[in-house]
Amino acid sequence: MNQLPFAFDLLPATFIPSQYDNHIKRGLSSMKGQFSEQQEYAISLEKEDTLLYEVFEIKVPEKAGELMHGITVLHPGAVGQEYFMTKGHFHEELETAEVYYCLDGEGCMVMETPEGEWAVEMLYPGRVLYVPPRWAHRSVNTGGRDLVMFFLYPANAGHDYGTIERQGFRKLVMKGEDGMQITDNPRWNPAEKVND
Ligand SMILES: [Fe+2]
């Protein structure tokens, strides 16, 4: 069955949709092995399973032609020197794209293809980001307040988290002396890269 028309409000006070079907919360415990400073991660997690980010999904049928959309709220913070970030994923249907519209906060999107190409794009209020088909994506909060993004992608895209869970992204976003710093991820498998 196709989705019937609907509308909702997305207002600057909170940017939480006036209606949603799914509220996903991901804490530190869901990011095992993802932060480069493993000892810092273990110490933080022992103290508290801090909430890293929340996704408010407006569900539509998961089939081609429909568009899944919602809001991601990524909270500020860091594990050691590495900023809070989302799990990151490829789309299961690799040939599907995604659009992000940044509503509040500051950060960036780390992206890469299965062939090892990589890109980092800055996010700030009013910024629109196009993630082309084949590009895995992870958002990172480099600021001091919530990073809030509206997202939109084909409803049949699906999520492949496994590849990223195994080796992370090729690039890490760390706290540097003058703000954020992009560094190489030592865990990333160079055997899979075709260009540098
Ligand atoms: Fe996505």
Give residue 18's identity as a one-letter amino acid code: S
Residue 27 or residue 196, greater confidence: 27
Centroid of ligand 1 to alpha carbon of 90 (angstroms): 7
Ligand 1 centre and the CA of 91: distance in Å?
A: 6
- 190 pLDDT more than 90: no
Q: What is the mean pLDDT of residues 89-94?
A: 97
Average pLDDT estimate for 106-119: 96
Residue 2 confidence (pLDDT): 81
Rounded to the nearest angstrom, the distance between the alpha carbon of 47 and the centre of ligand 1 is 30
The arithmetic mean of pLDDT across residues 168-190, rounded, is: 92
Residue 116 has pLDDT above 60, yes or no: yes
pLDDT at 73 over 80: yes
For residue 64, report the distance from its CA to the centre of ligand 1, in Å.
Answer: 15
Cα–Cα distance between 18 and 51 in angstroms, integer?
A: 22
Of 190, 171, 177, the residue nearest 115 (C-alpha):
190
Residue 137 CA to ligand 1 centre (angstroms): 7
pLDDT at 108 over 60: yes
Centre of ligand 1 from the C-alpha of residue 96, in Å: 9
Average pLDDT over residues 104-119: 97
What local confidence, expressed as pLDDT, does residue 1 receive?
A: 75
User: What residues are paired with 191 via a beta bridge?
Assistant: none
pLDDT at 192: 54
Q: What is the pLDDT of residue 189?
A: 76
For residue 78, give the nearest of 189, 181, 159 by alpha carbon: 181
Distance (Å) from CA 55 to ligand 1 centroid? 12
Q: Any residues with CB less than 8 A from the CB of 78 and at least 6 apart, and which?
A: 84, 175
Helix boundaries (H) for 90-192: 162-167
pLDDT number for residue 52: 98
For residue 166, the CA-to-ligand 1 centroid distance in Å is: 18
Closest among 99, 192, 89, 187 to 150, alpha carbons compared: 99
Rounded Cα distance between 106 and 149, Å, is: 10
Inform me whether the pLDDT recorded for 195 exceeds 60: no
Query: How far, in Å, are 7, 54, 71, 144, 163 from residue 57 at the CA level?
Result: 13, 10, 7, 24, 23
CA of 53 to the centre of ligand 1 (A): 15
